[in-house]
Amino acid sequence: MRSVVYTQIERCPQSLLSAIADYSVADLHEALGAIEGRIRLMSPRMRPIAPGQRAVGQAITSYNYPGDNLMIHAALNIARRGDMLVLVNGGVPQGALWGDVAGTFATEKGIAGVVADGPVRDTGALREMGCKVWSTIISPAHPEKRGPGAVNIPVVCDGVRIEPGDIIVADDDGVLSIPIRLAAETVEKARSRAESEVAIRAQLKTGASLFEILQMQNNLDAAGVQVVDATWRDETGS
């Protein structure tokens, strides 16, 4: 791989980003479907540094040599207001990818958030300034700034392939990547799911049974589950 910085990404309409921002990671994950939804969801290792964080934006990707963070500065330099920085170093603990100085500039610049598959540091200061960060590792490990690396190439972040321009959605539950080509369809399915859940909650507040609303007996029957009106000792004689 050659060291390179691509300054442009495919841009999607702001209206589409705003529509996606109306829905949670959980709703969008479900809306993507059983296969895409799993492929594009980062693992539970990717956690927010503070509760209540939420961010949506297009990915500016940065691949960094383990122990080095030169390319995060190149990425931050070309990123626009509302973008999400996706920083990777292979998920190793050497060399903090993000800290409070970069966070200060990112906050002033209007960067939506940072997703790092690797270490971040200065988390107290980042929380205080309101810089929204998700990471797999917290460590103060010293980073070099020598490269090699690249900006705005496809990367693997916590097991998920991210292409520059993919829409990144992050909240308390985790981080999800949505390709632009799937975004409009995903929004429609998330809207339908959210409306359905609003109706279910309304029924629950009137005393309805969730088991009956969701028709879970049908699922039990399909799975071949027996329902026995007795204790396990009564049936087995144990």
Domain contains 221: no
Least confident stretch, 22-26, 129-133, 161-165, 228-232: 228-232
**Residue 221 has what pLDDT?**
94
**Residue 91 has what pLDDT?**
94
**Residue 234 has what pLDDT?**
86
Domain contains 197: no
**Residue 117 has what pLDDT?**
98
**Residue 69 has what pLDDT?**
98
**Residue 23 has what pLDDT?**
97
Say whether pLDDT at 232 is over 90: no
**Residue 146 has what pLDDT?**
96
What does residue 154 show for φ and ψ, rounded to 5 degrees? -60, 135
Say whether pLDDT at 236 is over 90: no
Domain contains 97: yes
| Residues forming a β-bridge with 113 | 84
**Residue 237 has what pLDDT?**
77
The separation between CA 163 and the C-alpha centre of its own chain, rounded to angstroms, equals 14
The answer to whether residues 79 and 111 touch, using CB atoms and an 8 Å cutoff, is: yes
Distance in Å from the first CA to the final CA of the chain: 65
Range of the domain at 21: 4-190
Domain contains 213: no
Say whether pLDDT at 229 is over 80: yes
Q: Average pLDDT of 133-150? A: 97
Whole-prediction pTM: 0.92
The separation between CA 66 and the C-alpha centre of its own chain, rounded to angstroms, equals 22
Mean pLDDT of all residues belonging to the chain: 96
Domain contains 226: no
Confidence band, pLDDT 50/70/90 cuts, at residue 190: very high
Domain contains 195: no
**Per-residue model confidence as pLDDT tens digits over 71-112:** 999 999 999 999 999 999 999 999 999 999 999 999 999 999
Other Cβ atoms less than 10 A from the Cβ of 119: the count is 24
Say whether pLDDT at 235 is over 90: no
Domain contains 81: yes
In which region does residue 67 sit, left (phi positive, over 0), alpha (psi from -120 to 50) or beta (all else)?
left
**Per-residue model confidence as pLDDT tens digits over 5-39:** 999 999 999 999 999 999 999 999 999 999 999 99
Helix (H, G, I), strand (E, B) or coil at 58: strand
Residues of the chain with pLDDT > 70, as a percent, come to 100
Domain contains 223: no
Give the total number of structural domains in the chain: 1
Say whether pLDDT at 175 is over 80: yes
The CATH number of the domain holding residue 181 is 3.50.30.40
